[in-house]
Amino acid sequence: MRLFGSLVAALALLAGSGAVAQTAYPERPIKMIVPLAAASAVDVAARIVTQKMAENMGQQIVIINQAGASGLIGAEQVARAAPDGYTIGGFNDSVMTMVPNLHAKMPWDILKDFEPVSLVATVEWGLIAGNDTGYRTAADLIAAAKAAPGKINYSSGGPGSPQHLAMAMFASGAGISLTHVPYKGATQAATDVASGQIPVGFQGLGTVAALVRGGQLRLIGVTTEKRLPQFPDVPTVSESGLPGFLFNSWFAMLAPAGTQKDIIARLNAETLKAVGDPEVRHKLEDLGFSVRGTSPEELGALTHQQLAKYARVIKEMGIAIE
């Protein structure tokens, strides 16, 4: 009986230790891989949100930028990481739903190799132009492109990037021809517009807000339904050149497939807590983000919808990786 009692006590101790181990997460720093360039819109938002999450969780969250191959490389690092909650991803919807529709063979499956955590925010977008172009509205660009078909270049963060698809959709809707100049990331694509190397491009406002406010480039249209309070003098693309044109993108958080449900729930709860902080919300909104914060299930459903949407758009527009 004494032996039986000792066994029961040992088992109870082990069970208790397991419960403590589960509730102790995180016990060490967390790594967030952003498969995009530093200072891109998602990178900017990720740094704001994870700083507050780290403060609340008592552990550092280290951002690692792994740009290149339209996000395929960085996303694969997340997909192949141990599903222990210590490697997570900060993705945009290009990586999640555009690029998979542009490649016949993918090194990972967005629906099978990842666990959704939350759609953290949507990134509002704008049409930007160099100060020396003379363009002040979307209508100016459309008129110039019709006068010189194929002669005006635009920059993007790479083939299949949101910048690429946004401009392809804009050009198709406006009936104009522009020449695509892909870069290895959104940041360089934006700075080359500011330097005058490239005349125009679409960009997430989180990437270019500081350049616009600093007078280094001109924001000639926003892709929202209504004008943004952050830039009240900037017309929407819809009102100033292409009626009905709307575009935004995502900052979503994911984890490797197989990550424990309690860890996903903790990450989700901490994300919602962070974006609910008034200071965090103000910082994001000031840069042109719209704060969301969803359940894992909602992000999963949105991913299915967005995959189908861009499959249709890419086919209809004839967009292909160059």
Considering the domain 124-222, what is its CATH architecture? 3-Layer(aba) Sandwich (3.40)
Could you tell me which of 242, 240, 217 has the C-alpha nearest to residue 227? 240
Instruction: Specify the pLDDT at position 16.
Output: 46
CATH fold of the domain at 28-123+248-317:
D-Maltodextrin-Binding Protein; domain 2 (3.40.190)
Q: Confirm whether 28-123+248-317 and 124-222 share one CATH topology.
A: yes
Give yes or no for residue 58 having a pLDDT over 60: yes
Give yes or no for residue 104 having a pLDDT over 80: yes
pTM of the model: 0.81
Domain ranges of the chain: 28-123+248-317, 124-222
Could you tell me which of 49, 88, 45 has the C-alpha nearest to residue 276? 49
The pLDDT tens digits of the residues spanning 170-219 come to: 999 999 999 999 998 889 999 999 999 999 999 999 889 999 999 999 99
Give yes or no for residue 79 having a pLDDT over 80: yes
